[in-house]
Amino acid sequence: SFYPHSPTIRVWLKRDSGQYWPSIYHTMPSSSSCMSFNPETRRLSVGMDTGSICEFVLSEDYNKMTPARTYQAHQGRVTVVLFVLEMEWLLSTGQDKNFTWHCSESGQQLGTYRTSAWVSGLQFDVETRHAFVGDQSGQVTILKLEQDSCSLVTTFKGHTGNVTALCWDPVTRVLFSGSSDHSIIMWDIGGRKGTAIELQGHNDKVQGLCYASHTRQLISCSSDGSIVIWNMDVTRQETPEWLDSDSCQKCEQPFFWNFKQMWDSKKIGLRQHHCRKCGQAVCGKCSSKRSTIPLMGFEFEVRVCDSCHESISDEDRAPTATFHDSKHSIVYMHYEPTTGNLLTSGTDKVIKVWKSTRSVCCV
């Protein structure tokens, strides 16, 4: 596992005792901000606060790291770096609001794209050459990359906060986005033409997303230390759009801005709410109940109208996620599919390796 310690890069190896111990380290000219490691080539790409990307090649025994190349990629802090072996491309984003891609063989910049806000999430689909870019405005942009140019495909806007993490599954062709608004959105790009399904299971900013394709589980973590493992091998339902109405769609009493109906009926206007299951605009009296709706992504209890509450069975309330406490404020997460291990690092400067995503246990 690799972890940046300002201003050094350290390599940790698992010893025969089962414990991780530092192997080698390299002193960096400035603080490291992000990194990408490719096990096949043992190429380590490290983004810097200065805007440059330093590349290293590690020896087979991981006891030596050799500087290979430095890319002058950005004018500000590098936020995400991603090496794509199949294309021999190095993708990166920075606080200068530029998305760039370099040829990793020649070191030359191939192209750049100006984003509307600085990017905090980046994923790439090799088959279609689509780059998924999540930024601080809460928007996800899809770009089609060519050798030296790119074009805008579409944009998705579903978060009320900035995008903090992206995860792409090329098999099911589903993109997951996490946000500071505590939510995760599942964008079904392949099969259902951009259908958006919300996952509500965090009480703080989502910091990381990983997808375990062999078990069809989404793993998410947040800055309050919680790790949520979502079962994605279920048929999930899209949350309904909230309907507009000047009066409660159940009892027909006016909402407080509907002055005409208030005057005509001689009734005081009520506050508007929305049922999370049907999306209808309802008053507090007609939506006094709460319920979980796991197949809609609501693992916590949310407001539902009285009629929807009656229609939700105990089977409908069966959880589709499990919750775990990492006991530190997570800032970074990485999942290794070959071992099933999950790595988290926190503001406490502690790295934790979790043995299994089904039975989470720290070593």
The pLDDT value given to residue 260: 57
**Sheet strands side by side (includes 289-293):** 163-169, 174-179, 183-188, 195-200, 298-304, 289-293
> Which of 73-77, 187-191, 235-239 has the highest average model confidence (pLDDT)?
73-77
The pLDDT value given to residue 144: 95
In a domain, 202, yes or no: no
The pLDDT value given to residue 262: 53
The pLDDT value given to residue 19: 83
Together in a domain, 153 and 265: no
Number of domains in the chain: 2
The pLDDT value given to residue 95: 93
Burial of 338 per CB tally in 10 Å (0-12, 13-18, 19+): exposed
Higher pLDDT, 1 or 91: 91
User: pLDDT tens-digit profile of 120-130?
Assistant: 999 999 999 99
Strand partners, 223: none
Mean pLDDT of the chain: 88
* pLDDT tier for residue 265 given thresholds of 50, 70 and 90: low
* CATH code at position 283: 3.30.40.10
| 203: Cβ contacts below 8 Å, ≥ 6 apart | 182, 222, 224, 226
Mean pLDDT of 23-46: 91
User: pLDDT tens-digit profile of 163-177?
Assistant: 999 999 999 899 999
User: pLDDT tens-digit profile of 83-119?
Assistant: 999 999 999 999 999 999 999 999 999 999 999 898 9
In a domain, 138, yes or no: no
In a domain, 276, yes or no: yes
Q: What percent of the chain has pLDDT over 90?
A: 64
The pLDDT value given to residue 188: 87
Mean pLDDT of 342-351: 89
In a domain, 38, yes or no: yes
Together in a domain, 22 and 150: yes
The pLDDT value given to residue 6: 53
Q: Which domain holds residue 59?
A: 1-114+144-157
> Which of 3-7, 193-197, 240-244, 263-267 has the highest average model confidence (pLDDT)?
240-244
| 57: Cβ contacts below 8 Å, ≥ 6 apart | 41, 42, 43, 44, 65, 66, 68
The pLDDT value given to residue 356: 63
pLDDT surpasses 70 at 289: yes
* CATH code at position 3: 2.130.10.10
Burial of 71 per CB tally in 10 Å (0-12, 13-18, 19+): buried
Together in a domain, 16 and 151: yes
Together in a domain, 153 and 31: yes
In a domain, 34, yes or no: yes
